[in-house]
């Protein structure tokens, strides 16, 4: 019998679904995911798809994409929310909380350590060398994610057209991502009524595997479990607990250090940022930059850029750059006094992470039961199918954004980085041709970058 934590062999339409997954098995997987979730949201979603849909068969492709579409329209990090959703669907509220928390915690601890090295040691040639190799690899990972998702989501000319239009809108016209999502959803809603065949979800086994139907633990026709059935009482309880988890720490901060203190202001500011992150981290980074650098002076523009580099090259959501902002801001402002600079900085990093991610858990635990009742309803799935197509175009734009900054670090007027281009090409070959894992590619490219920088 195949263990659910090992890749299943190629099967036949008669294969049985994998056995039930224990909470311990799921816990170990989510912990592993927290340490290997490189590549930004696109790379992280690709990892989860490969592990959960293709290898372990814990959830079918159609149910996976349905959950992903919901997470795409929420403010907050969609990959972390997707992990929370699947964890909740499998093991109730605690399963979702554990999955979402483990997606974030490894990145938080890593960033606290790197941030301490940054402020204490200054220039870090070792880390700079590692970053030099990782950045081109991330570009290739995002391209691979666009290919993987696009090959499954873009099943006809209509969806290809939506993807192309979203790419032009964001790349050439600089249309905000929330507007692209809204137009795509409206297109899907109208199209689902006028041409329903073009917007029917085709992400099931047959579409993905060329007719090789290998049943999943949570399959297309698996009944919604009792805990995922919508109930007003349960929704009200989640909202009440979520409100208390925000109100209690904010009240304690206000009562102990005052409203104008740096820690209190960080809590309020990053709560607002969490509610504005439609379209992922890049959509909200300008807002974080404006507030952290311009309004509050928690760090300098150069430090913000360095923090973004750390966020791009560590596991976890890219929005985890807020932990760096909190650490540096807490250190500079000496939030616990000059004798406790590092402790105060670490406290600030934890605090801003709490206020940034708390809304995501509330959104999933409140909205999940409603979404589970709609995975067979075309009036709801058609808009989400169109959104998925639009997101493919946005991911391609993100790959070009990475590629531009990696290959022309000083802009088109500057030099073309031939070595970075070579690393990106090698990473792409490893991913597309030899099917190497993201972790293997990231590790190999980091070592190449370190070697090149040490020889230069």
As a whole number of angstroms, the distance between CA 427 and CA 432 comes to: 9
Q: What pTM value is reported for the model?
A: 0.72
pLDDT at 71 over 60: yes
pLDDT at 162 over 70: yes
For residue 66, how many other CB atoms are within 10 A of its CB?
A: 25
178, burial (CB in 10 Å: exposed 0-12, middle 13-18, buried 19+): middle
**What are the structure tokens assigned to 283, written together?**
């959509």
Query: pLDDT by residue (tens digit) across 349-397?
Result: 999 999 999 999 999 999 999 888 776 666 777 887 888 788 788 778 8
Query: pLDDT by residue (tens digit) across 253-267?
Result: 999 999 999 999 999
pLDDT band at 46 (very low <50, low <70, confident <90, very high): confident
Give the lowest-confidence range in 114-123, 149-158, 164-173, 207-216.
207-216
pLDDT, position 447: 92
Residue 59 has phi, psi (to 5 degrees) of -150, 145
Mean pLDDT within 72-95: 90
Residue 33 has phi, psi (to 5 degrees) of -60, -35
pLDDT, position 378: 66
pLDDT, position 400: 85
Rg (CA), the chain: 22
168 vs 9 pLDDT, higher one: 168
* 69, 385 contact by CB (below 8 A): yes
Mean pLDDT within 421-435: 92
Mean pLDDT within 310-331: 87
Give Cα 82 distance to the centre of its chain: 8
As a whole number of angstroms, the distance between CA 432 and CA 231 comes to: 45
Mean pLDDT within 104-112: 93
pLDDT at 102 over 70: yes
Mean pLDDT within 141-162: 84
Mean pLDDT within 183-198: 89
As a whole number of angstroms, the distance between CA 4 and CA 53 comes to: 11
As a whole number of angstroms, the distance between CA 158 and CA 198 comes to: 7
pLDDT at 205 over 60: no
pLDDT at 298 over 60: yes
What percent of the chain shows pLDDT beyond 90?
Answer: 40
Q: What is the residue-averaged pLDDT of the chain?
A: 84
Mean pLDDT within 419-425: 93
pLDDT, position 40: 67
pLDDT at 82 over 60: yes
pLDDT, position 148: 76
10 DSSP 8-state letter: P
pLDDT at 209 over 70: no
Query: pLDDT by residue (tens digit) across 228-278?
Result: 888 999 999 999 999 999 999 999 999 999 999 999 999 999 998 888 665
């Amino acid at each position: 019998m195949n263990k659910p934590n090992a890749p299943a062999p190629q099967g036949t339409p008669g294969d049985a679904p994998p056995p039930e997954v224990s909470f311990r098995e799921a816990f170990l997987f989510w912990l592993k995911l927290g340490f290997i979730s490189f590549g930004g949201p696109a790379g992280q979603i690709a990892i989860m798809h490969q592990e959960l849909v293709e290898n372990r068969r814990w959830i079918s492709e159609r149910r996976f994409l349905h959950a992903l579409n919901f997470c795409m329209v929420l403010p907050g990090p969609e990959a972390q929310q997707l992990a929370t959703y699947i964890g909740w669907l499998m093991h109730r509220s605690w399963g979702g909380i554990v999955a979402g928390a483990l997606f974030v915690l490894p990145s938080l601890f890593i960033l606290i350590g790197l941030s301490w090295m940054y402020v204490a040691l200054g220039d870090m040639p070792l880390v700079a060398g590692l970053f030099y190799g990782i950045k081109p690899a991330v570009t290739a990972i995002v391209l691979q994610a666009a290919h993987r998702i696009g090959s499954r989501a873009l099943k006809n000319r209509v969806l290809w057209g939506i993807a192309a239009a979203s790419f032009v809108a964001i790349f050439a016209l600089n249309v905000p991502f929330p507007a692209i999502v809204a137009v795509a959803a409206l297109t899907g809603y109208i199209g689902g009524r006028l041409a329903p065949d073009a917007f029917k979800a085709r992400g099931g086994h047959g579409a993905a595997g060329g007719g090789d139907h290998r049943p999943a633990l949570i399959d297309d026709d698996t009944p919604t479990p009792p805990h995922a059935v919508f109930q007003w009482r349960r929704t009200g309880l989640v909202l009440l607990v979520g409100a208390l988890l925000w109100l209690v720490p904010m009240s304690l901060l206000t009562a102990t250090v005052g409203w104008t203190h740096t820690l209190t202001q960080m809590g309020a500011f990053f709560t607002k940022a969490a509610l504005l992150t439609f379209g992922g981290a890049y959509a909200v980074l300008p807002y974080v930059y404006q507030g952290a650098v311009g309004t509050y002076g928690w760090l300098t523009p150069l430090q913000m850029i360095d923090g973004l580099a750390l966020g791009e090259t560590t596991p976890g959501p890219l929005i985890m750059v807020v932990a760096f902002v909190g650490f540096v801001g807490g250190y500079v402002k000496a939030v616990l006094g000059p004798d406790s600079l590092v402790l105060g900085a670490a406290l600030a990093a934890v605090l801003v992470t709490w206020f940034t991610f708390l809304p995501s858990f509330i959104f999933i635990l409140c909205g999940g039961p409603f979404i589970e009742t709609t995975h067979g309803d075309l009036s709801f799935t058609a808009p989400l199918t169109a959104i998925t197509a639009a997101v493919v175009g946005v991911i391609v734009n993100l790959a070009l954004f990475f590629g531009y900054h990696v290959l022309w670090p000083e802009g088109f007027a500057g030099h073309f980085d031939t070595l970075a281009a070579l690393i990106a090409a090698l990473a792409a070959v490893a991913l597309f041709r030899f099917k190497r894992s993201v972790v293997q590619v990231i590790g190999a490219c980091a070592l190449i970058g370190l070697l090149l920088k040490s020889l230069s």
